[in-house]
Amino acid sequence: MILPSTYLATLSLMILTMICWGSWANTQKLSGKWRFELFYFDYSAGVLLAAVLIAFTFGTLGFDGFATTDDILKAGKRQDLYCFVGGVVFNLANMLLVAAIALAGMSVAFPIGIGLALLIGVGLNFLIEPSGNPMFLFFGAALVAVAIVFDALAYRAFAAQKLAQAIKAGVTSSTAMKVSLKGVLISLASGVLMGSFFPIVQLAAYREPGNEAGLGPYARGLIFALGVFSSTFVFNLFFMNLPVEGKPISGFDYFKGTIRQHLLGIGGGMIWCIGTLASFVAASAEGEARVGPAVSYGIGQGATMVGVLWGLLYWKEFAGAEKAVRTRLVIMFSAFLVGLVLLSLAPIFVSK
């Protein structure tokens, strides 16, 4: 299998993770009025497709002569279970995130949901495998928490502004504020689950008593993707019958989608999976290239800012915002950026 041999290569993988995790949601928005529940069938298929392709290319090539299939055969069933459960936990978290994006937009769902996931994930990963400078790591995570708070404040102020404008225009509706609160709450629930999946999957990398080998990153990605794909059909029964927005829908509605909508869903899943495999591989690097799972996951969650930039600059989700709202957004972005820099430096400035 192919693993990075320098810190620069590892950092490049983490940046790839950040870009992929922050960009895949555009495929959902590009699909138009296509319900997220139906979009998600294609998305999960894209995740599995990318995992298979990567596992049997990058996971099989290399000079060590150790392939993905060797990993799966030598590892214990407990490691397989960790990966599969991690995929299931992530899937529920991601479906909630997609629902939050549909309700509140990328500029809100990403900072709140993914930002909270960063705090939980970094903390849990550090407890499992301490690595990097703790001061840089946790001070960076604290700044991310500040960014989450200011993003929520910006969205609340913007929702109040829109409501006031609607009332002034004679359109009396309390829906705007209710949707805002619902989107924020779903984002928070997504963040709690999203922060848990990476540490669960990372447990599969460690050797268990009884000479059971740990799973390599490509094998973890493959089994993880199976968890994502299979659990989609279970979770979607709930979301389709008790939707967070709109009326209940039938599975037969899936066949009403256009080829473009189906391809966008598959593409979104593949983009996300590429970023995830890059994170798994970065966390598995050894020697001078080693950064550890806490740092790898933390930098990857810079996806929040990538998502916010897409929401602000391309989708214009805060168009017409007043100065107070824009100020909160600037503070949010600055805090997240500094926090991300500190997380990036954590592996370099390690106390001896």
Tens of pLDDT, residue by residue over 119-171, are: 888 888 888 878 778 889 889 888 878 887 887 788 778 878 887 888 888 76
Looking at residue 209, its pLDDT comes to: 54
Looking at residue 266, its pLDDT comes to: 98
Query: Apex CA 226: angle with CA 223 and CA 229, to 5°?
Result: 155
Distances (CA, A) of 225 to 213, 268, 303: 20, 14, 20
- Give the integer Cα–Cα distance in Å for 121 and 124: 5
Q: What is the mean pLDDT of residues 251-260?
A: 95
Looking at residue 121, its pLDDT comes to: 82
Q: How is residue 317 written in tokens?
A: 């989700």
pLDDT band at 193 (very low <50, low <70, confident <90, very high): very high
Q: What is the pTM of this model?
A: 0.84
Cβ–Cβ under 8 Å, residues 330 and 275 = no
Bridge partners, 212 (sequence order): 208
> For the CA atoms of 38, 41, 43, 46, what is the dihedral angle to 10 degrees?
-150
Lowest-pLDDT range, 148-157, 228-237, 247-256?
A: 148-157
Give every CB contact of residue 243 below 8 A, 6+ residues apart in sequence: 35, 37, 249
Looking at residue 212, its pLDDT comes to: 55
Tens of pLDDT, residue by residue over 49-107, are: 999 999 999 998 865 556 788 888 887 788 899 999 999 999 999 899 888 877 777 66
Give SS3 for 290.
coil
- Give the integer Cα–Cα distance in Å for 11 and 162: 41
Q: How many residues does the chain have?
A: 352
Tens of pLDDT, residue by residue over 270-285, are: 999 999 999 999 988 8
pLDDT band at 213 (very low <50, low <70, confident <90, very high): low
Helices (H) and strands (E) in the chain, counts: 14, 0
Q: How is residue 290 written in tokens?
A: 């080693």
The domain ranges of the chain are 7-345
Average pLDDT, the chain: 85
Give me the percent of the chain exceeding a pLDDT of 90.
38
Tens of pLDDT, residue by residue over 297-317, are: 778 777 777 887 888 888 887
- Give the integer Cα–Cα distance in Å for 7 and 19: 18
Q: Evaluate if residue 211 carries a pLDDT over 60.
A: no
- Give the integer Cα–Cα distance in Å for 61 and 58: 5
Cβ–Cβ under 8 Å, residues 103 and 182 = yes
Place of tokens 């979104």: 268
- Give the integer Cα–Cα distance in Å for 181 and 155: 10
Place of tokens 């994502």: 228
